[in-house]
Amino acid sequence: MGFVTLVLSFSSFGQLQHHHHGSCATDEMHNLYMQNDRNYRDGFDQGQQLAAQIFDQLESGELNVPENTPYIIPVVVHVMYHAEVDNISDAQIQNAIDLLNADFRRMNADASNTRSIFQGVAADMNIEFRLAKLDPDGNCTNGITRTKTPLALAGNNAVKQLIAWDNRKYLNIWTVRTISIGAGIQGTVLGYATFPNPNNTPTSDGIVIRHDRMGSIGTSNTGGRTLTHEVGHCLNLFHTFQGGCFGAGDGCADTPPAAEANFGCATGINSCSNSSLPDQVENYMDYSNDNCMNMFTICQRQRATAVLNNNALRGSLVTPQNLAATGVEQTTVTCPPTADFTFREKSVCAGTAITFTNRSAIQDGDTYWWIFPGGTPSSSTDTNPTVTYDTPGHYPVYLDVNRNNQRMDRKGMEKAIAVRVNYPEITGIFSEGFETTEIPFPWHTINEQGHWAFEVTTQAAYSGSRSATLNNFDIRTNGLSTSLITPQIDMRWTSNLVIRWKHAFARTNNANSDQLRIAVSTDCGATWQIRAVKSSFILASMPTPISASWFPSQQSHWKEDFIDLSSFANSEDPILVRFEFVNGGGNNFFIDDIQLDATVSAETFARDERFVSVFPNPNNGAFQIAFDLPEATAVTAILMDVTGRQIAIQDPGVLPAGKSAIRFDSAQQLSSGMYIVKIQTAVFGEIIRKITVE
């Protein structure tokens, strides 16, 4: 009976005043649809009438459903990520599904916390959720998709346009970093969902939720009840405080009315004078804290059961035919394994350890074989191995997934890791015109997929005959970023620091969202500070879009740009400058004549060059450091490899003014390669020299 009243009175749905908290935006999104989308409004009204009819049949006993056979709902989770921090693990997603199932089957660990006054109406919803094992095309899946997109930064229905599976077969869940729905809601939105509606489409249905509210591990430190709450909405459950004390309510007589949403865990509150029962703050459909929520009610189970018994609502999800089509009825689905992995640190200093996260879809008994050229270890069978890279250069990574001792699938990234020396590689001002056959070391170029990196081209140049280019036209992966990174630059004794460059870029249409981001690192690429972001419109050097793959053919096709980096001048730490191009559907990108301008203290710089020299260089491990000091100073000389590991040290004490020398004749047999000599002086500071052992 309450159900019918709710349908007739639903125009009051939008009267609720809880916008200042903004935990769940389902009401706000629903109101927008009802006001602006007649197709949605008609479908919602029709759906509520259908659900009410089945609800009444369940209440009267006219319709009986098996209580010992749970409804099973296939689920797909679309991980929408902008950076790796958003790209939550399979384990976190499975944890979220496990908690969801515990809540819906009343097997949650805190079920006993339900107050005695409500124990009699607390219900097992008789619904379970399983990640899909077959995708819409019948291919094997783990029920998780991953899409890199800037839309994940402020998620809303726009992410659904990128990927959505048939909502008649799957419950779609999208995870994002934050949510911005533009509906006037204030505060932090944790998630929102759509009610059952025959007119819902895959791109208008489902749940959008912050990834830090998915489960209780990984990026989430919550109890996972946000997902339980939003799934409740998908199954036609409304907020327990719907309509306040005297409105239509949530359609359930066993959830006492509440004046407004409850936050925290106010178990002693009775906010409605027309009710003899306290507010049911432990109900999953309130806004209470996760550790306060612990129950659904018998009526809420009936409401959910009603929509699962009509194929126009959610019933198509739970049919035997659909369970077979999505693979969730089977304990195992025999599928070929799929190799996949990710990692965060793509440009590192020598000696850095990198942990690789395995995202492969495999079955019990399958094994892994990792290959790490240039790394230690060079191979591994661990699930998530940690590898150290000691020698500068670019290195690939491969992962094989094996079944019955045979390789079934491989993922390889040819330019996965860029390893650089961990000392300053150039001092002060520099210029680079890319007049070489490839990107010159120690410049680094890398992207998140290990390919489509910057290359040297002879087909375009602002000056000379070559430039660096990114084949952006063929990438077609929205949000994919590719970086070109300078060597480490010694900024001591500098001021008035400006970096300049020439670039050429054409849009393919006015809707392109490509970006050029310039960032600076003072810790060898471990962290980056964004200094400028150039949008597609600002970046374009051509006045109109060009739809075919494009190369600049004259200097007028290029733009000059610069940014001030004076805040990094005279820094004790060397800097890296990163040019990061983010694909947004535009044309190819070209860059040339990168130049760092600075005022360098001529006296200090000349003193550094004049006071200390190392010879012979190259050498066989034996060399001398010659000094010509204007005054006496204490000196310590340290021989290091490129990772910064100390090999030998000379501490002659105070050297006199004038000419003197100290000799290194390493007791160790040095392998060929580059080494660093760091000379520390009490008067003149630290001086770095590079040597080559042959």
Q: Which of 500, 439, 501 is nearest to 469 (CA)?
A: 439
pLDDT of residue 666: 67
603 has pLDDT over 80: no
> How far is it, in rounded angstroms, from Cα 199 to Cα 347?
48
Q: Specify whether the CB–CB gap between 583 and 507 falls below 8 A.
A: no
Task: Please state whether 614 falls in left (phi above 0), alpha (psi between -120 and 50) or beta.
Answer: beta
> How far is it, in rounded angstroms, from Cα 466 to Cα 469?
9
> How far is it, in rounded angstroms, from Cα 193 to Cα 230?
6
In terms of pLDDT, which residue wins out, 101 or 488? Answer: 101
Q: DSSP code of 527?
A: S
CA angle 307, 312, 317 (to 5 degrees): 65
616 has pLDDT over 50: yes
Instruction: Place 677 in a pLDDT band, splitting at 50, 70 and 90.
Output: confident
Residues 6+ apart with CB under 8 A from 332: 363, 364
The total of other beta-carbon atoms located within 10 Å of residue 682's CB is 11
pLDDT of residue 600: 66
**Single-letter residue type at 413:** M
Instruction: Place 671 in a pLDDT band, splitting at 50, 70 and 90.
Output: confident
Question: Strand order of the sheet with strand 379-380?
Answer: 347-349, 406-420, 393-403, 367-371, 379-380
Catalytic residue among 28, 230, 425, 580: 230
Q: Which domains does the chain have, with CATH numbers?
A: 2-10+19-326 (3.40.390.10), 341-419 (2.60.40.10), 423-600 (2.60.120.200), 604-693 (2.60.40.1930)
Structure tokens at 547: 């739809």
pLDDT of residue 379: 96
Instruction: Determine whether 230 is an active site residue.
Output: yes
Q: Which of 210, 204, 206 is nearest to 179 (CA)?
A: 210
List strand residue ranges (DSSP E) for 167-264, in order.
Answer: 171-176, 191-193, 207-210
Q: Write the DSSP assignment of 272-288 as a string of letters.
A: -TT-SSPP-TTBTTS--
CA angle 36, 39, 44 (to 5 degrees): 95
pLDDT tens digits for range 382-403: 999 999 998 888 899 999 999 8
Q: Which of 253, 269, 221, 247 is nearest to 92 (CA)?
A: 221
Q: Write the DSSP assignment of 31-45 as a string of letters.
A: HHHHHH-HHHHHHHH
Q: What HEC string does 141-162 produce?
A: CCCEEEEECHHHHHECHHHHHC
Q: DSSP code of 677?
A: E
pLDDT of residue 184: 61
Which range is most confident: 175-179, 358-362, 421-425? 175-179
pLDDT tens digits for range 159-185: 999 999 999 999 999 999 999 887 566
Q: Specify whether the CB–CB gap between 454 and 484 falls below 8 A.
A: yes
pLDDT tens digits for range 546-593: 999 999 999 999 999 999 999 998 888 889 999 999 999 999 999 999
**End-to-end Cα, the chain, rounded Å:** 90
Q: Specify whether the CB–CB gap between 3 and 303 falls below 8 A.
A: yes
Instruction: Place 4 in a pLDDT band, splitting at 50, 70 and 90.
Output: very low
Polymer length in residues for the chain: 694
Task: Look over the chain and give the mean of its residue pLDDT values, rounded to a whole number.
Answer: 88
pLDDT of residue 68: 80
* Residue carrying structure tokens 């191009």: 581
Residues 6+ apart with CB under 8 A from 300: 123, 125, 232, 237, 252, 255, 283, 285
Q: Specify whether the CB–CB gap between 155 and 146 falls below 8 A.
A: no
* Residue carrying structure tokens 């998915």: 214
pLDDT tens digits for range 209-224: 999 999 999 999 899 9
pLDDT tens digits for range 505-551: 999 999 899 999 999 999 888 889 999 999 999 999 999 999 999 99
Q: DSSP code of 104?
A: H
Alpha carbons within 13 A on the beta-carbon side of 239: 30
Environment class of residue 444 by beta-carbon count within 10 Å: exposed (0-12), middle (13-18) or buried (19+)? buried
Q: What HEC string does 438-497 produce?
A: CCCCCCEEEECCCCCCCEEECCCCCCCCCEEEECHHHCCCCCCEEEEECCCEECCCEEEE
pLDDT tens digits for range 242-292: 989 988 789 999 999 999 999 999 898 999 999 999 999 999 999 999 999
As a whole number, mean pLDDT of residues 402-429 equals: 82
Q: Alpha helix (H) ranges present in 297-418?
A: 298-307, 320-326
pLDDT tens digits for range 22-70: 478 888 889 888 988 899 999 999 999 999 999 999 888 888 887 788 9
6 has pLDDT over 80: no
10 has pLDDT over 70: no
Q: DSSP code of 264?
A: S
Instruction: Place 345 in a pLDDT band, splitting at 50, 70 and 90.
Output: confident
Q: DSSP code of 83?
A: S
pLDDT of residue 477: 76
493 has pLDDT over 60: yes
pLDDT of residue 461: 96
Q: Specify whether the CB–CB gap between 612 and 678 falls below 8 A.
A: no
pLDDT tens digits for range 92-108: 999 999 999 999 999 99
> How far is it, in rounded angstroms, from Cα 242 to Cα 263?
15
- 3-state DSSP helix/strand/coil % of the chain, to nearest 5: 20, 35, 45
pLDDT tens digits for range 451-473: 668 999 999 999 999 999 999 99
> How far is it, in rounded angstroms, from Cα 632 to Cα 628?
10
How much of the chain exceeds pLDDT 90, in percent? 57
